[in-house]
Structure 1
Amino acid sequence: MMTFYLERLLKIIEQSPSYSPLTKKAYRVDVRHFCSHAETIDIPSLHRYMNQLKQTYAPTTVARRIHALATLFDTLVTERSLVKNPLSQIKKPSRPIPKHRTTFSYTDARRVIETIQDETTYAFYFLLLHTGLRFNEARQLRRTDLDLTERQLFVRHGKGQKTRYVPLHDELIMVLTRYLDVQPNDELLFQNDTGRSLDPNQTRKQLRLASQQILKRTLRPHDLRVTFATTLYREHQADLLTVMRLLGHSDAKTTQQYILPSSEVARSSINRLTPTTH
């Protein structure tokens, strides 16, 4: 029985146009783990499976896996491979409150990037800081996605297979122009010496080492995305809808999590309080 469900779920994941490659990879792991530990898809079996997950994994992982299975089970019901979704009758674990994101100012992020000696890695992270692209969105960029005449970038590999255009910062255009002058005219915008896309681990390592040396703390690629959103909204008064579209979000609530409160904003807000005269 579970062999049947495993094959059906894997096919659903593979055929879905709305899942990104990373989401598909995670869902395949979730499905294989579930089908190797559960006896069938019913309430008692799922209760046992959830208890097993709680004993082994962090709450965030447990919640993500169960929510993923609930979504996939709905598809099984739709195609009538399953009579009903038992997870609709079980209280699913709530998603833990996200950890407080570390704040990095634009100035600090820029200081770190300026110390990177490798021209490709430097241009890559300079682009992330000034466009807010996700790490993998930038890794998959092609030269044809870059339009210096219209001063914009086409993001074809957005999350959930969504595409968007992102305008280019004036200084970013200068950096990319200089970078392209010394790079071979290949398909990928960013590539290593062998002509392949940048190695994720090695590329992240360069940013980590540079930030630990300059700031004495770790700056990650995703922090550049947060810095981009926060700087636009807090310092340049961009409206939330504009920031949301630039980041490729479909929900403003998600964007709000990227806009971090600054101590200066908090302090000025407190100072605006006036005592009531009695």
Structure 2
Amino acid sequence: MMTFYLDRLLALIEASPTYSRLTKKAYRSDVRHLCRHATALDIPSLRRYITLLHTTYAPTTVARRIHALATLFDALVAERSLAKNPLKQIKKPARPSPKLRTAFSYPDARRVIDTLTDETTYAFYFLLLHTGLRFSEAHQLTCADLDFTERQLFVRHGKGDKSRFVPLNDELTDVLLRYIETERPDGEFLFLTDQGRRLRPDTTRKQLRQASEVLLGRTLRPHDLRVTFATTLYREHQTDLLTVMRLLGHSDAKTTQQYILPSAEVARSSINRLTPTKHRRLV
């Protein structure tokens, strides 16, 4: 029975026009894991499976997997391969608290990137800091995605297969032009090693981590650059939230707000404005 559901779920994932390549990869992993550990798509079996998830994975991973499976089960119901969605009759796990994001100022992030000696890695992270792109979005950029005349780049592989244009500032334009003219070998993708191969994600992440631990004594991750981009635009350059949301490729302002870290200075000045017009006289 589970073999039937495995085949149907994998087919539904592959046929979906709305799932991105990375989403399909994650959903396939979720489905295979389910079919290895669950004996049926019924309430008792799924309760045991959810207990297994809780003992194995972090709360955010558990919540993501259950949401993915509930979505896929709805598709099975729609095609009548499943009578009812059993997950709708099981109490969902409590929504995990928002992940505490690490605050890195623009100057600190810039100092770390400036220590990178590999020109390709330097250009890659310089772009992340000044565009807010996700690691995967920058990794899939091609030369055709750059428009130096209009000073913008085209993100064609955004999350959820959403595309967008992101402007390039003058300094980033100079960095990219210098990299393309002097360092980049021939090939389709923008960021290539000296051997003409695409950057290895694990090696590229390691270079940033090591540089930040030496310079700052803490780990700067690629996604932290996205947070720094959003926070700097909003806090220091007074960019409106809707613009930041569009630059990041978000469809919900609530998601963007999680990327804009609180500022102690903003909080302090806000409290100081709470000055009463009259003071109560102490007796």
* 1:247 aligned residue: 248
Q: Deviations over 1:156-182 (max 9, x none)?
A: 110111111001011100111111111
Deviates more, 1:68-77 or 1:15-24: 15-24
Q: CA deviation at 1:17?
A: 2.2
Aligned-partner SS, 2:189:
coil
Aligned-partner SS, 1:154:
strand
* 1:197 aligned residue: 198
In structure 2, distance between residues paired with 1:9 and 1:230: 40
* 1:232 aligned residue: 233
Q: Deviations over 1:26-82 (max 9, x none)?
A: 211111111111121111111111122222222222211111110110111111111
Task: Report 1:1-278 matches (<5 A).
Answer: 1-182=1-182, 183-275=184-276, 277-278=279-280
Q: CA deviation at 1:88?
A: 1.1
Q: CA deviation at 1:96?
A: 0.8
In structure 2, distance between residues paired with 1:257 and 1:210: 26
Aligned-partner SS, 1:166:
strand
Q: Deviations over 1:104-145 (max 9, x none)?
A: 011110010011011110000000000000001001100010
Where does the alignment leave 5 or more consecutive residues of structure 2 unmatched? none
Confirm or deny: 8 A CA contact 1:19 1:161 kept in the other structure.
yes
Q: CA deviation at 1:9?
A: 0.6
Confirm or deny: 8 A CA contact 1:137 1:158 kept in the other structure.
yes
In structure 2, distance between residues paired with 1:64 and 1:132: 24
Aligned-partner SS, 2:25:
helix
Aligned-partner SS, 2:130:
helix
In structure 1, distance between residues paired with 2:35 and 2:246: 38
Percent identical among aligned pairs is: 76
Once superposed, what is the RMSD of the aligned Cα atoms? 1.1
- Counting matched residue pairs gives 278
Confirm or deny: 8 A CA contact 2:241 2:253 kept in the other structure.
yes
In structure 2, distance between residues paired with 1:50 and 1:204: 32
Amino acid of the residue matched to residue 119 of structure 2? E
Confirm or deny: 8 A CA contact 1:140 1:188 kept in the other structure.
yes
Aligned-partner SS, 1:194:
coil
In structure 2, distance between residues paired with 1:119 and 1:222: 20
In structure 2, distance between residues paired with 1:83 and 1:238: 49
Amino acid of the residue matched to residue 89 of structure 2? Q
Question: Residues 201 and 51 (structure 1 numbering): CA distance in 2 closer, same or farther, change over 3 Å?
Answer: same
In structure 1, distance between residues paired with 2:59 and 2:70: 16
Aligned-partner SS, 2:185:
coil
In structure 2, distance between residues paired with 1:144 and 1:53: 43
Aligned-partner SS, 2:172:
helix
TM-score normalized by the length of structure 2: 0.95
In structure 1, distance between residues paired with 2:123 and 2:166: 16
Amino acid of the residue matched to residue 159 of structure 2? K
Confirm or deny: 8 A CA contact 1:17 1:161 kept in the other structure.
no
Where does the alignment leave 5 or more consecutive residues of structure 1 unmatched? none
